[in-house]
Amino acid sequence: MGLNKLIKQCANNDRKAQKEIYQLFAGKLFSICLKYSKNKQEAQDNFQDGFVTIFNKIGQFNFEGSFEGWLKRVMVNTVLLKYRKKTVLNIVTEEVPDEVIVDIDDDEISLDFLLNLIKELPDRYRMVFNLYVLDGFSHKEIAEMLQIAEGTSKSNLARARAILKQKIEIYQNGQLSI
């Protein structure tokens, strides 16, 4: 069955079509939830809420652009909405530090280790870091999504990078283990 037909059937609350859409995209969408959540349980909650939102809004998909991109955007927005309701993203008024550069030997640090370091960042820094570095959103887009100032987005990104740099340097000096 074609994707467009599945989408139309989902819009009509066809459970079989919803199951197919779920099976096709669950892995990619769950990885997004893991990226924006502190732990697996929180990611599972976000994932479930995101799919509920997707199936409630699937009729709004206008078949222009990528359906997968639309799904990802809905999932990210669902997760961010939960964080905005639950947590106050503190406004940081400090000056933005210069670009943080980290010298990493590819053989020395695993991707899993880096992802775990990112998960340990404070919520406001983790959100901005993921949106900017991993998902490619601009500071303007991030500011709108998180309802913060563009300068705050830049500052939070710089702080996230500085924290990650410090932890990586501690690890490289043998004071932190994987």
pLDDT in tens, 81-107: 887 776 544 444 444 444 544 444 445
For residue 170, pLDDT over 50 is answered with: yes
Residues 23 and 98 in one domain: no
- Supply the CATH number for residue 21's domain: 1.10.1740.10
The count of domains in the chain is 2
- Looking from the CA of 141 toward its CB, the CA atoms found within 13 Å total 13
Residues 96 and 170 in one domain: yes
What is the C-alpha separation between 168 and 116, in angstroms, rounded?
A: 12
What is the C-alpha separation between 6 and 10, in angstroms, rounded?
A: 6
Q: Please indicate, yes or no, whether the overall pTM of this predicted structure exceeds 0.85.
A: no
Residues 32 and 103 in one domain: no
Residues 60 and 131 in one domain: no
The confidence score (pLDDT) of residue 110 equals: 80
Q: Which residues are CB-neighbours of 129 under 8 A, at least 6 positions away? A: 118, 121, 156, 157, 160, 161, 164
Q: Residue 139: exposed, middle, or buried by beta-carbon count in 10 A (0-12, 13-18, 19+)?
A: buried
Residues 102 and 49 in one domain: no
Residues 81 and 130 in one domain: no
Q: What residues make up the domain containing 81?
A: 3-86
